[in-house]
Structure 1
Amino acid sequence: MKVSANGVSLHYAVNGHGPWLTLAHPLGADLTIWDDFVPALAEHYTVLRYDSRGHGHSQVTIGPYTIEQLAADAAALLSALEIPRTHFAGVSMGGAVAQQLALDAPERITSLILIDTTAGYDPADAATLEQRAVIARAGGMKDLVDGTLTRWLTERFRHHEREATERIRQRFLTTSTEGFAASCEALQGFDIRERLGEIEAPTLVLVGEHDPSTPVATAKLIADGIPGARLTVIPDAAHLSIAEQKQFVTKALATFLNADASNV
């Protein structure tokens, strides 16, 4: 399904019943990255997944984008679907959007689940994002896919879960080059580290034990900065921990949502 929100056509899917739970995907992916989580979560929540601007079946607009813009997209989507409040879980770029939305529209957020994400990039990492945007526009996603999979997935997973790895590879390769590049530029300019203390929503921070992109130290900074936030390290996982440790992440989400978040 599609809806116009914040001047862009956004593709989304809704499953289940109960309080709203919104799932946001990482850079270079789409809403299908959450497919394996939907059956369990939809038993207790109305699960909203959506393709970020420039990704999946959502509209590709010319960049650069900003995280504020992507958060405004999410807020407009919630308004278009008449969703007053939602639990919001985001991976990597989706986690950046979640944090920004919690700052810009706190009344819309019941709780936050921030997975393998950051609150801001240091200059060297920002420069790397800029370089990836240049590579994508010049040569396409094929020039980035191998390095991405190395960061996203542990060697063990890539060796033993070849079919799942190939699905992730193909999803990345089909991402719009402009959407990817413009989103890299959004992340490049993202930094809310000094504002973490303003986030009031109950928050769970999850991070892969071997995440090289947003490592445990980065997750700890977020958890230390948001009042009352909890940090859980996901064993034997890299940046795309939701693919490598589905059962662990599903249990962590369910435990947090059931125990620590108001089901409004």
Structure 2
Amino acid sequence: MKVSANGASIHYAVDGHGPWLTLAHPLGADLSVWDDLVPALAAHFRVLRYDSRGHGKSDVTRGPYSVAQLAADATALLSSLEIPRTHFAGISMGGAVAQQVALDAPERIASLTLIDTTAGYDAADADLFLQRAATARSQGMKELAAGTLERWLGERFRKHHPATSERIRALVAQADPEGFAAACEALAAFDVRTRLGEIEAPTLVLVGENDPSTPPAVARRIASGIAGAQLEIVPDAAHLSIVEQKQFVTNALATFLQGTASNV
């Protein structure tokens, strides 16, 4: 299904019944990255997933993008679907978008779950995103897919789950180069580290213990910056903990959400 939101056609899917729960995916992926978690979550929540601008089946508009723009897309999608308030969970880029929505439209957020993400990148990491943007535009996504997979999934998981690993690699390899590059530019400029104290929604921060991209130290800084935030380390997981440790993440998310469900 698609709706027009903030000047772009946004592809989305809805599953289940109950309080709304919105899921935002990482850079270079699409809503299918949440597939394995949806059945359990949809038993208790009405789960909204969507493809971010430039990704999946949503429009690839001219870049560069900004995280504020991607957050406005999410808020416009909620308005188009007449969702006044939602739990919001985002991983990696989706976690950046989640923080921005909580800052720009706090009345829409019942709770926040931030998974393997950051509140802002230092200069060296920001430069890496700009380099990836340039590579995507000049050489295409296949040049980036293998390195992305190594950061996202641990070596042992890749060895023992080759089909799942290949599905994730192919997802990145098939991403639109311009959409990916424009989103890379958004992440390079993203920084809300000094604003975390403004977030008032109940917040859960999850991070893979072996995440090389946004390691536990980064997650601890986010959790310490948001009053009352809970922090959980996902064992034996790299950057894509929702795939590598789907049961742990599902349980942690469900427990947290059921404790805050009265906020919707």
TM-score by length of 2: 0.99
- What does residue 255 of structure 1 align with? 255
- What does residue 141 of structure 2 align with? 141
2:57 is paired with a residue whose SS is coil
- What does residue 93 of structure 2 align with? 93
The runs of at least 4 aligned residues of structure 1 exceeding 6 Å deviation read: none
Deviation at 1:263, TM superposition (A): 4.5
What is the rounded CA distance, in whole Å, between the counterparts of 2:255 and 2:5 in structure 1? 32
Query: 1:104-119 residue pairs with structure 2 within 5 A?
Result: 104-119=104-119
- What does residue 29 of structure 1 align with? 29
TM-score by length of 1: 0.99
What is the rounded CA distance, in whole Å, between the counterparts of 1:151 and 1:16 in structure 2? 32
Task: Work out whether residues 28 and 180 of structure 2, in 8 Å CA contact, stay in contact via their aligned partners in 1.
Answer: yes
Deviation at 1:262, TM superposition (A): 2.6
Opposite residue 258 of structure 2, the aligned amino acid is N
What is the rounded CA distance, in whole Å, between the counterparts of 1:172 and 1:149 in structure 2? 8
Cα deviation per residue 1:17-59 (whole Å; 9 max; x = unaligned)?
0000000000010000011111111111100000000000000
1:111 is paired with a residue whose SS is strand
- What does residue 188 of structure 2 align with? 188
Deviation at 1:145, TM superposition (A): 1.0
Task: Work out whether residues 30 and 55 of structure 1, in 8 Å CA contact, stay in contact via their aligned partners in 2.
Answer: yes
Cα deviation per residue 1:142-185 (whole Å; 9 max; x = unaligned)?
11111111100100011110000000011111110000000000
- What does residue 245 of structure 1 align with? 245
- What does residue 10 of structure 2 align with? 10
Query: 1:1-264 residue pairs with structure 2 within 5 A?
Result: 1-264=1-264
Q: Which structure 2 segments of 5+ residues have no match?
A: none
Task: Work out whether residues 202 and 261 of structure 1, in 8 Å CA contact, stay in contact via their aligned partners in 2.
Answer: no
Opposite residue 18 of structure 2, the aligned amino acid is G
Opposite residue 217 of structure 2, the aligned amino acid is A
Task: Work out whether residues 90 and 113 of structure 1, in 8 Å CA contact, stay in contact via their aligned partners in 2.
Answer: yes
What is the rounded CA distance, in whole Å, between the counterparts of 1:129 and 1:150 in structure 2? 16
What is the rounded CA distance, in whole Å, between the counterparts of 1:114 and 1:174 in structure 2? 26
1:184 is paired with a residue whose SS is helix
What is the rounded CA distance, in whole Å, between the counterparts of 2:195 and 2:261 in structure 1? 22
Task: Work out whether residues 75 and 105 of structure 1, in 8 Å CA contact, stay in contact via their aligned partners in 2.
Answer: yes
Task: Work out whether residues 129 and 187 of structure 2, in 8 Å CA contact, stay in contact via their aligned partners in 1.
Answer: yes
Task: Work out whether residues 19 and 263 of structure 1, in 8 Å CA contact, stay in contact via their aligned partners in 2.
Answer: no
Deviation at 1:260, TM superposition (A): 3.7
Task: Work out whether residues 154 and 237 of structure 1, in 8 Å CA contact, stay in contact via their aligned partners in 2.
Answer: yes
Cα-Cα RMSD: 0.6
Q: Which structure 1 segments of 5+ residues have no match?
A: none
1:201 is paired with a residue whose SS is coil
1:148 is paired with a residue whose SS is helix
From the superposition, tell whether residues 102 and 54 of structure 1 become closer, same or farther in structure 2 (CA, over 3 Å).
same
Opposite residue 142 of structure 2, the aligned amino acid is K
What is the rounded CA distance, in whole Å, between the counterparts of 2:38 and 2:151 in structure 1? 25
What is the rounded CA distance, in whole Å, between the counterparts of 1:259 and 1:47 in structure 2? 17
What is the rounded CA distance, in whole Å, between the counterparts of 1:149 and 1:122 in structure 2? 22
Deviation at 1:261, TM superposition (A): 4.4
Aligned residues: 264
Cα deviation per residue 1:55-101 (whole Å; 9 max; x = unaligned)?
00000011100000000000000000000000000000000000000
Opposite residue 41 of structure 1, the aligned amino acid is L
2:36 is paired with a residue whose SS is helix
Cα deviation per residue 1:98-121 (whole Å; 9 max; x = unaligned)?
000000000000000000000000
